[in-house]
Copies of this chain bind each other. A is one copy, B any other.
């Protein structure tokens, strides 16, 4: 029999053999689900829904009665049953999916090597290799293996190298296997591995860059010697089950005693991505020797297992800003246990390593020109400055542009509506990510799609300046382009399809307006604080999980981006992962990140009198003060 996936291409059939689990069958088709327990039925993460067909399900305590009665099952505990030859139709919730070989991530990463060289850098990772030629022991020379190695390291200036228990446990065998001529790899004063010098080609070393977003986790698997991206993977941050934003996670860690659980959850997500990408290329995780992590301050604290309580309490102080180097084993990552794990430095409780990464990747701190950096993620941070000064602020935009809190919201992965155009006849033209593969009909809408949709609805007069639906010119219209009453109130239908309809409700629009208002107010307050106006800004770098593109024009109509000459805007995508990649492949970038962190001044908007006022004014489309959006007003006049 075959497995068929709801929302997948109509003719795709995945072979499903008697006794096989759905998890395994999907893996065969390179569809990876989060299954941190390895398919033992104990983590409860590989949830799917059986839409049609007869299967054999092993009991699990990880599902609620409601879930079970609605057809939800664990993919690892659901097996092909011999009784039936009919195909099984399943639905895979977005939250169960690991996207390995993430096309968006890979395509955005295309020019990583170009970026490194355009910034005048070379591939020089912090992991170095020295060749050690050691005199073998003899009956007359009982010197221990380690002392023998140190004798060679001393003249290389490496006598104070730190040797972990894990390194020493493998050292004796490695020295003998390499016939006492080995390559010793080390980073940050820690010995990592010893490998035979010969046949080095088969002993490639790898590194991993990780973006720990509040909503999304992205992993790049990189060949360390060349800087080449081997693969990328992404998944939802499973901590989401304990809340959409950093505050609810901190509350869970602090008041719910869930710190250990949150740490474990994010580790499992990252390890799942590392394992799946490495496995896909036949790479042993032991060969992964360097990791650079980039995340906001709360995510970094939770990864480290540091109680995050003080981040949330006045005076909002993190426990650590500059993190020491961790060993792979100490971190709990699925990499070489002696491997080095670097955490991007944080600035303040609400401006973290992801922003340092982003500013690094933008290159703005290397130029005289004053630039504005905006990261539109779950939180929403802005920075302004140049090679002389830097200032930053956080504006808690919320996670809606990553799909959270929006009825049909989803991340910018396959099946997401990423562009929307409303034709004069009220037809809806949509662009769907990866429409040539299993995403024949859209499964939801991502951030760039939301921005498009709202600005189109506004331009076409379907919503007013407050984001409320106006009486529809064609009240009897059905399907795409119509307004209907949904479970959550009125909603605009973007598409209808086998995988379900995708709509945008009035409550969704409200959420998006609050998010864009927070971002715009943050920019305004920050620029005012430094005593400039927008005309002083030479470039606006925009970061965020928007997938392939962000339509700047429409984001200005929405009032999220300031009304400035369009050529000043540069969309950079996920700069948190790009910055982590840069640090992974060149040690100079790690030092640069630390320098950026040390000279960035943090502005606390929560005590800034101007911010709340700016926010209230920005809740309208595009803004209450229309003089701030002259080109949009002109456009509206021309309707």
Asked whether any CB of chain B lies closer than 8 Å to the CB of A419, the reply is no
Asked whether any CB of chain B lies closer than 8 Å to the CB of A83, the reply is no
Contact: B144 with A317, CB < 8 Å? yes
- State in angstroms the CA–CA spacing of A314 and B140 once bound together: 11
* A136 smallest CB distance to B (angstroms): 9
Asked whether any CB of chain B lies closer than 8 Å to the CB of A203, the reply is no
- State in angstroms the CA–CA spacing of A162 and B323 once bound together: 11
- State in angstroms the CA–CA spacing of A602 and B141 once bound together: 10
- State in angstroms the CA–CA spacing of A145 and B137 once bound together: 49
- State in angstroms the CA–CA spacing of A602 and B348 once bound together: 57
Contact: B164 with A320, CB < 8 Å? no
Contact: B307 with A169, CB < 8 Å? yes
Asked whether any CB of chain B lies closer than 8 Å to the CB of A571, the reply is no
Contact: B168 with A319, CB < 8 Å? yes
Asked whether any CB of chain B lies closer than 8 Å to the CB of A165, the reply is yes
* A98 smallest CB distance to B (angstroms): 26
* A410 smallest CB distance to B (angstroms): 34
Contact: B163 with A306, CB < 8 Å? no
- State in angstroms the CA–CA spacing of A74 and B379 once bound together: 56
Q: Which residues of B contact A171 (CB under 8 A)?
A: 319
Contact: B309 with A172, CB < 8 Å? yes
Known: A142-B348, A142-B349, A172-B306. Contact between A315 and B165, CB under 8 A?
Answer: no
- State in angstroms the CA–CA spacing of A100 and B213 once bound together: 51
Q: Which residues of B contact A330 (CB under 8 A)?
A: 164-165, 330
Q: Which residues of B contact A138 (CB under 8 A)?
A: 315
Kindly supply a per-residue 1/0 record for chain A positions 132-151, scoring 1 wherever the CB is within 8 Å of any chain B CB and 0 otherwise.
00000111111111110000
Asked whether any CB of chain B lies closer than 8 Å to the CB of A553, the reply is no
- State in angstroms the CA–CA spacing of A349 and B141 once bound together: 12
Asked whether any CB of chain B lies closer than 8 Å to the CB of A1, the reply is no
Contact: B318 with A144, CB < 8 Å? yes
Known: A138-B315, A315-B142, A316-B142. Contact between A147 and B307, CB under 8 A?
Answer: no
Asked whether any CB of chain B lies closer than 8 Å to the CB of A629, the reply is no
Closest to A607 in B: B139
- State in angstroms the CA–CA spacing of A164 and B145 once bound together: 27
* A94 smallest CB distance to B (angstroms): 32
Asked whether any CB of chain B lies closer than 8 Å to the CB of A36, the reply is no
Asked whether any CB of chain B lies closer than 8 Å to the CB of A322, the reply is yes
Asked whether any CB of chain B lies closer than 8 Å to the CB of A310, the reply is yes
Asked whether any CB of chain B lies closer than 8 Å to the CB of A96, the reply is no
Q: Which residues of B contact A319 (CB under 8 A)?
A: 144-146, 168, 171-172
Give residues of chain A (272-317) contacting chain B, Cβ–Cβ below 8 Å: 304-307, 309-310, 314-317
- State in angstroms the CA–CA spacing of A163 and B519 once bound together: 37
Asked whether any CB of chain B lies closer than 8 Å to the CB of A326, the reply is yes
Q: Which residues of B contact A602 (CB under 8 A)?
A: 142
Q: Which residues of B contact A164 (CB under 8 A)?
A: 330
Cβ-closest 5 pairs across A and B: A144-B321, A172-B319, A137-B317, A139-B315, A146-B320
Sample of 19 A–B contacts (CB below 8 Å): A137-B315, A139-B314, A140-B315, A142-B315, A142-B349, A142-B602, A143-B321, A144-B317, A144-B319, A144-B321, A145-B310, A145-B319, A164-B330, A165-B304, A165-B305, A168-B320, A171-B319, A172-B319, A176-B310
